[in-house]
């Protein structure tokens, strides 16, 4: 098994997998509610918002944890270009983990529907709208909503690309390089020795 010093902490691993599953679930939920019409979409959209806020909260915790407890460095044998791509991919994921929920929250706040359907986390906990957006004149609110909706959609597309890159990188390390990189995040995998 990967030793404690060269793998992620239990907290970092739990946050990684929880956030990953929530994001994947929210992507599926968004695909589904975009096929629905009228009142049938209200429940799934509200759940999407709740999951998004949860991702935002967990991502802030993850950033704080990462700053307090830096992740293990990649092994020295990982080529520079792979290191660079890994860092760029991780930066992109943090952009998505924070940017997607923030643009979604802002988009909801810049919608006249926020007055009819306020954000209630999992139907229970009230979550505030962004007051500076809800107080905009109608035309400005509509323009802001459009920009935020476009931004939210672009971040979703970036998420698709990064997920493919991340999974491809993990599969490459596990099955082609046969090294210990994946064991840093999946502790029950045996370390594979080079050579």
pLDDT of 4-41, one tens digit each? Answer: 578 899 999 999 999 999 999 999 999 999 999 999 99
Q: How confident is the model at residue 2 (pLDDT cuts 50, 70, 90)?
A: very low
pLDDT (average), residues 91-108: 98
Residue 5 to residues 24, 40, 71, 72, 157: CA-CA distances in angstroms? Answer: 29, 49, 10, 7, 35
pLDDT (average), residues 55-81: 96
pLDDT (average), residues 142-148: 98
CA distance 118 to 127: 8
Tokens of 23: 């994001």
pTM: 0.92
DSSP reduced 3-state for 125:
strand
Quick one: pLDDT at residue 191? 59
Exposure string for 21-30, b = 16+ CB within 10 A, e = fewer: ebbeebbebb
For the cut 90, the answer to whether the pLDDT of residue 161 exceeds it is yes
Asked which of 59-63, 151-155, 183-187 is least confident by mean pLDDT, the reply is 183-187
CA distance 161 to 149: 19
Quick one: pLDDT at residue 123? 96
What domains can be seen in the chain, in order of their start residue?
4-184 (1.20.950)
Task: Spell out where the chain has E strands.
Answer: 120-121, 125-126
> Torsion angle, CA of 74/80/81/87, rounded to 10 degrees?
40
């Amino acid at each position: 098994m990967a030793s404690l010093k060269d793998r992620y902490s239990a907290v970092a691993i739990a946050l990684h997998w929880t956030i990953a599953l929530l994001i994947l679930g929210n992507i599926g939920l968004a695909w589904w509610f975009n096929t629905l019409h009228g009142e049938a979409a209200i429940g799934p959209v509200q759940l999407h918002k709740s999951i998004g806020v949860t991702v935002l909260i967990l991502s802030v915790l993850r950033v704080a944890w990462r700053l307090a407890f830096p992740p293990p460095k990649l092994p020295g044998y990982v080529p520079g270009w792979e290191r660079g791509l890994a860092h760029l991919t991780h930066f992109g994921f943090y952009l998505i983990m924070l940017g997607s929920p923030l643009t979604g929250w802002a988009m909801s706040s810049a919608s006249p529907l926020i007055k009819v359907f306020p954000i209630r986390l999992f139907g229970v906990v009230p979550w505030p709208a962004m007051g500076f957006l809800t107080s905009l004149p109608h035309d400005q609110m509509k323009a802001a909503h459009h920009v935020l909706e476009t931004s939210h959609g672009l971040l979703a597309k970036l998420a698709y690309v990064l997920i493919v890159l991340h999974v491809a990188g993990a599969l490459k390390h596990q099955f082609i390089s046969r090294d210990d990189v994946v064991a840093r995040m999946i502790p029950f995998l045996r370390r594979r020795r080079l050579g």
